[in-house]
Structure 1
């Protein structure tokens, strides 16, 4: 196996498991620990992982670590598509309704589906409220969607619109469903994201909507990032691609959260 091939596989293992030791990787790939350390050095230089004592961790395991929207779009595409399709089924097509689409790569997959959405009764429309520049661009010309773009400051890393004016606008709205993204959902800490400004916008969405649905792929389950924006009891449903671990599953059940695994 070429070094580049092994390094790609190492990066994938670390991203999936969250943490790998030098000994584990050396045994799995039948190479020396020194070879693994060189591989990890190369992968850290390429921002594929973070070196720690005795091994490596995924970059997104740090509380402030955050990938750009472009980087996230390229990850776990099949899983995010399945989550988005399940979310679409929660949107009624029988009457005019309103939803929030939070900024994020999984909510953006839902926006792709909504671009072709049609109501059961001709003339009905769906109002989509969003703070995501890419989602607004996708839905701007959708024939059966009314688009409401929240105002504020655009955060470059994620293309999310944030700030006090964003939260103030949400405070005056009462949409039917909010579809929310997150960087972590933890049995004790709750639902979190690395950035305080985005957390404030997400919190405002959670408190504005009649029903809150978290769209979270399984790499985020059991994780804590820097800023909590909701407790588990604030969430009505979680759509994810794998069963949560026992502690998180129990906490979700105790909070009354419907868990949909796709």
Structure 2
């Protein structure tokens, strides 16, 4: 079977079932997993599917949201590099807001033990990583906790962020682009992210390069709302230059 024929069948399977897996496709078509990954990459570039950990989903599924375990295992090396680069943005003795997100949680995990900060977060994974830190005055924002992300949302969370002002906010996103701004699948989480942006003097977006160009159901801001994007070297120099020209500084870790 030629590659275009196989890709057409993969696209049909993705649209029929809502998701396809690399290993099952390799078995079905009797090819290697790497061949399937190349097929999915081509379909992704054509805008027909969107690659996710272990497979792909149809491009029209703007509401798709991977669970926390899947997000934490996706692009792990890239997220670690981004988190280490973000340490340079921590203020000395200041106040920090930590958004929900697997990369932001990695930042929380690697805050040096000799650092003194006030941290406000609605994200349980970030709070868990900082709860025993000797230099952190930790404030946990309450609300309804979404099981998929372990993040508090709705009125309690929005009200809490409306009462604080921070030096810097570290933000997560499921997708970012100059054209569509900052997006995430859930409206309630989008509302909290907007509140986090509004509560900080400086906003730093932590997002791996696979999220560039992606768009999701709920839009919560423009790239102009972000002072600095820290991503990985998978974001090409031309794309980084375009984002910088749009007004957002870019660090490729």
Normalised to the residue count of structure 1, the TM-score between the two structures is 0.76
CA contact (8 A) 1:152 1:166 kept: yes
Q: 2:198 aligns with which of 207, 227, 234?
A: 207
Any residues of structure 2 matched to 1:1-262 within 5 Å, and which?
A: 3=27, 6=31, 8-9=33-34, 12-13=37-38, 19=44, 48-50=55-57, 62-92=61-91, 95-114=92-111, 116-119=112-115, 125-241=116-232, 242-244=234-236, 246=238, 249-250=241-242, 252-262=243-253
Q: How far apart, CA to CA, are the structure 2 residues paired with 1:20 and 1:173?
A: 42
| Unmatched tracts of structure 2, length 5 or more | 1-25, 47-52
Closer/same/farther in 2, CA of residues 75 and 175 from structure 1, 3 Å limit: same
In 2, Cα distance between equivalents of 1:170 and 1:146: 16
Q: Deviations over 1:163-221 (max 9, x none)?
A: 12211111111111100000111112111101000000001001110000000100100
* Inter-CA distance 261–17: structure 2 relative to 1 (3 Å threshold): farther
Tell whether the 8 Å contact from 1:186 to 1:248 is kept in structure 2 after alignment.
Answer: no
Point out where structure 1 has 5 or more consecutive residues left out of the alignment: 22-45, 120-124
> Which of structures 1 and 2 has the bigger CA Rg?
1
Aligned residues: 221
4+ runs deviating over 6 angstroms: none
